[in-house]
Structure 1
Amino acid sequence: MADAKECVDGIKAYDNTGLELVPLSCSQDAVHQNQPPPYMPPPYPMTPYPPPMPPEPGFIMDPPPQYWPKPEEQNPPAETEVTSMPSERIMIVPTAFDDKTTRRAFIRKVFCVVTLQLLVTFSIVCVFTFSQTVQGWVRNNLWVYLSSYIVFAVVSVCLALCSSFSRSHPWNMLGLAVITLSLSYMVGTVASYHNTSAVIIAMGSTLVISFSIVIFSAQTRVDFTLCNGVMLVLAMTLLMFGFFSIFFYSSALQIVYGTLGALLYSLFLAVDCQLVMGREKYGLSPEEYIFAALILYLDIITIFLYLLILFGGSSNN
């Protein structure tokens, strides 16, 4: 170990590595010794730090600390494209429903078709209700009713599931006409078993309710298209309620069943109207005007049948 070493200007102290620690002047030390204790030594003069010594062989030094800039000091990341190749770049193309003219033409076409269907159906219902001859023939030939039901089911499934059939003109119009005639015959057959006053009240109520729901769906900000799951559960509950009401029939139960069914399918009509108008999250394609007219027509006819259960009892139990 190297000890302290005297010099003319002062005393130099060395540590065990041979580095000079602090230069101290001899005259300054003498001045401090003449002062009465205790005394505060003056601060050391500002001298630079000694250069680091090279490490000994076999000694591993830690890497020097690195400065990491703060997040706000970093440059904001540049906007990246969706894909690197220009040929694969995704472009946002407006759909046909983004055009207001196309949407209005679609809505106009759908409601014109539905209006024509309702005119045909309610005309047949009136004939089956007011003509005693037609009522007698319908009641004696129930096989026509069953045949109409089969035709209606087959064509409806094809029109709903086969897009090539529902979008090809004039086959889609022909299929919709077959559905309208077959369902009109079935509804007329059901109406022939009810009182005339009940049929008229149910028909007028259906038109008023349907028109009000269409106006409400066009003006409201509530998105009914997000409630399909809940409404499906309610429909299954109503189906089970109707099944058990067969075994426990009563007038009060009939009124409750008709009221619940009319309310539920009024909600379905509101959902389908918003799908047609395309104002909410989900909407129908402009090419699906036949399918759109079909679902609106079925909703309105179902409301009429439930109102018929509500307002009138069957004349032939």
Structure 2
Amino acid sequence: MSKADAPPGYEEAISTPKYEDYGVGPDPPAPPPAYSPGPCPYPGQPSYSHPPAGFPPAGMPHTIIPTLSAAVSTHSLGDMEDFSDQWENTSVRHAFIRKVYLILAAQLSFTVGIVAVFTFVDPVRHFVIRYPCVYWASFAIYFVVYCVLVCCKGPRRRFPCNLVLLGIFTLAMSYMTGTLASYHDTKSVFLAIGITMIVCLAVTIFCFQTKVDFTSCGGLLCTLGVLLMIIGIITAVVLSFQYVPWLHMLYAAIGAIIYTLFLAYNTQLLIGNRALAISPEEYVYGALSLYVDIVQVFLFVLEIGGAAMD
């Protein structure tokens, strides 16, 4: 190797730029491509264009924040609204049922107290038996007030008036029931109360559990009511001549069965999930209907027990 081809010395290499004497060297690195929203300058590489607003850059994973309406179709949203309405209606119906049974409990407690007075207090019992005109006066008040309450049922703005009429009606019917109970002995009264309680409890549980719709049998119950009235008139005429002694018990049994069906009908009107239902604003009328049915069942059962013991 000649002297010209020999590598430079240490001092020369420091003072002289590298490759200066050779005239050759590596190409300077190419500057990075300028940012451009245009097409990609390198084939096979992602472009540097701005992504559309609202979407992550290409190749990045999408992050979705789940919401209540995510993956819910329009039909499902409608079902959710229907469920909300159904829940609200169910809450209103339950509050309505509680009001009805609270009023009914107050009415029945008052009636039981009046019956106890007429049964255990001998002066009151003898007074009623001696003056039957008082009973007919209570029956007239009961019938008139019942008709007024049925005609004026419904709006809340009439609730105070309906409540006063309901109190008068309860007083009249309690007095009438106590009067009838005074004609029977204590055993018959207690037996009738016990049977009535069992029947009412069984009918209420059955109506809340069964799928049988008694509200669609209004025409049949109306017919049975008219039939009961006709049988009652015939019984009153026949018994005045003492032709058929057992006819009175038969009439009482038929009446107890028919009013038990009426109790089932009116109970299902309160529930609200049948063909017919009472408006949640008509809790006075709902309590009135159940009260009349229960008292009538008690009176017919009392007649059955009194006739059997006679």
> Which band: TM-score by shorter chain?
0.5 to 0.7
Contact in 2 for aligned 1:194/1:315 (Cα 8 Å):
no
* 2:297 corresponds to: 303
Q: What is the letter of the counterpart of residue 185 of structure 1? A: Y
* 2:223 corresponds to: 233
- What's the TM-score, normalizing by structure 1? 0.66
**Distance across 2 between alignment mates of 1:101 and 1:275:** 16
Q: Report the structure, 1 or 2, having the larger helix content.
A: 2
Offset of residue 176 of structure 1: 0.8
**Distance across 1 between alignment mates of 2:88 and 2:264:** 22
- Counterpart check, 1:276 vs 2:270: yes
- Counterpart check, 1:101 vs 2:101: no
Q: What is the letter of the counterpart of residue 175 of structure 2? A: Y
Q: What is the aligned counterpart of 2:205 among 215, 223, 227?
A: 215
| Cα offsets for 1:254-302 (capped at 9, x unmatched) | 2221111111110100000000111201000010000000000000001
Q: In 2 relative to 1, CA 193–109 (structure 1 residues): closer, same or farther, beyond 3 Å?
A: same
- Counterpart check, 1:172 vs 2:162: yes
Q: What is the letter of the counterpart of residue 160 of structure 2? A: P
Contact in 2 for aligned 1:176/1:290 (Cα 8 Å):
yes
Q: What is the aligned counterpart of 1:256 among 231, 250, 254?
A: 250
Classify the secondary structure of the residue corresponding to 1:283. coil
**Distance across 1 between alignment mates of 2:299 and 2:181:** 9
Q: What is the letter of the counterpart of residue 112 of structure 1? A: L
Contact in 2 for aligned 1:167/1:287 (Cα 8 Å):
no
Q: What is the aligned counterpart of 1:188 among 164, 167, 178?
A: 178
- What's the TM-score, normalizing by structure 2? 0.67
| Cα offsets for 1:215-252 (capped at 9, x unmatched) | 11000000001111111112222222222222333442
Offset of residue 182 of structure 1: 0.6
- Counterpart check, 1:150 vs 2:144: no
- Counterpart check, 1:224 vs 2:214: yes
Q: In 2 relative to 1, CA 167–223 (structure 1 residues): closer, same or farther, beyond 3 Å?
A: farther
**Distance across 2 between alignment mates of 1:201 and 1:279:** 34
Contact in 2 for aligned 1:265/1:299 (Cα 8 Å):
yes
Moved more, 264-273 or 142-151: 142-151
Percent identity between matched residues is 38
Q: What is the aligned counterpart of 1:244 among 234, 247, 252?
A: 234
**Distance across 2 between alignment mates of 1:235 and 1:199:** 25
Offset of residue 212 of structure 1: 0.9
Offset of residue 166 of structure 1: 7.1
Contact in 2 for aligned 1:165/1:171 (Cα 8 Å):
no
* 2:191 corresponds to: 201
**Distance across 2 between alignment mates of 1:136 and 1:163:** 38
Q: What is the letter of the counterpart of residue 265 of structure 2? A: V
Contact in 2 for aligned 1:217/1:273 (Cα 8 Å):
yes
Quick one: higher RCO (CA 8 Å, sep 6+), 1 or 2?
A: 2
**Distance across 2 between alignment mates of 1:164 and 1:302:** 24
Q: In 2 relative to 1, CA 95–236 (structure 1 residues): closer, same or farther, beyond 3 Å?
A: farther
Contact in 2 for aligned 1:160/1:291 (Cα 8 Å):
yes
| Cα offsets for 1:67-95 (capped at 9, x unmatched) | xxxxxxxxxxxxxxxxxxxxxxxxx9x98
Where does the alignment leave 5 or more consecutive residues of structure 2 unmatched? 1-81
Offset of residue 123 of structure 1: 1.2
